[in-house]
Amino acid sequence: MRRHPRRLAGLQMMLSPLIIAYALRWAVLHPSIAGVPNRVSTVAESAALRHDVPAALLLAVAKVESHFDPRAVSWSGARGLMQIMPGTARMLHVRDVFSIKESMNGAARYLSGFIDRFGTIRQAVFAYNTGHAGTPWQVAHSGYVHAVLHDYHKMRTR
C-alpha cells in the first residue's frame, strides 16, 4: 500500500480540531475524569453535614452511579445523580430525583440509615446498591462496593 504524505498531513490537520472538540465534550459529559463538578461537591458537603455521612462517600457513590450526571436514567429505572429507584425516592420523600440537591440529600439519608443499621461503610454501600444487607460473601465480592470504596478512598485524600 502506497502512502501519500500530503494527503495524510491534510487529514491530520482536519481531524485535530475534531479530536480536540470530542475530547473536550467527553470531559464535560464524564466529569469523573476532569474532576468533581463544583455544584455537586457543594451539595455533597451540605448533605454530608446534615445527615452525618462522609462527603467523599456521597461523591464516590455519585461517580459510580451516574458519573456525576444528574439526568442519568438506568435500564433498571434508577434515576438522577444518585440513581434512586422510584419506590425508594417515594420512601425517602425525594420529589425530584433529577434535582442534585434532593437526590444527594435522599441518598445521604439512605446511606446514613444503613451505616447506623449495619455499622460499616462497606455494608452500607452494598445495601445502598441492593436494598438489603446481603451475606458477608456477597458484600466482600461485590464489584460495586469495590468501585465505590476505591473512589471513596481516593476522594478522601484530596
DSSP code per residue over 81-105 = TTTB-HHHHHHTT-S-TTSHHHHHH
- pLDDT tens digits for range 36-82: 889 999 999 999 999 999 999 999 999 999 999 999 999 999 999 99
Rounded Cα gap, residues 139 and 130, in angstroms: 10
Domain boundaries, the chain: 1-34, 36-156
Q: How many CA atoms lie within 13 A of 26 on its CB side?
A: 7
Is 65 marked active-site? yes
What is the three-state SS of 1-64? CCCCHHHHHHHHHHHHHHHHHHHHHHHHHCHHHHCCCHHHHHHHHHHHHHHCCCHHHHHHHHHH
Catalytic residue among 44, 63, 65, 89: 65
- Can you tell me the distance from the alpha carbon of 72 to that of 82, in angstroms, rounded to the nearest whole number? 9
pLDDT tier, 30 (very low <50, low <70, confident <90, very high otherwise): very low
Task: Give burial (CB, 10 Å; 0-12/13-18/19+) of 26.
Answer: exposed
pLDDT score recorded for residue 91: 96
In angstroms, the Cα distances linking 14 to 2, 17, 21, 23, 46 are 21, 7, 12, 15, 46
Q: What fold does the segment set 36-156 form as a domain? A: Lysozyme (1.10.530)
pLDDT tens, residue by residue, 93-144: 999 999 999 999 999 999 999 999 999 999 999 999 998 877 888 888 889 9
pTM of the model: 0.76
* pLDDT above 70: residue 3: no
> Can you tell me the distance from the alpha carbon of 28 to that of 35, in angstroms, rounded to the nearest whole number?
10
> Which pLDDT value is given to residue 131?
87
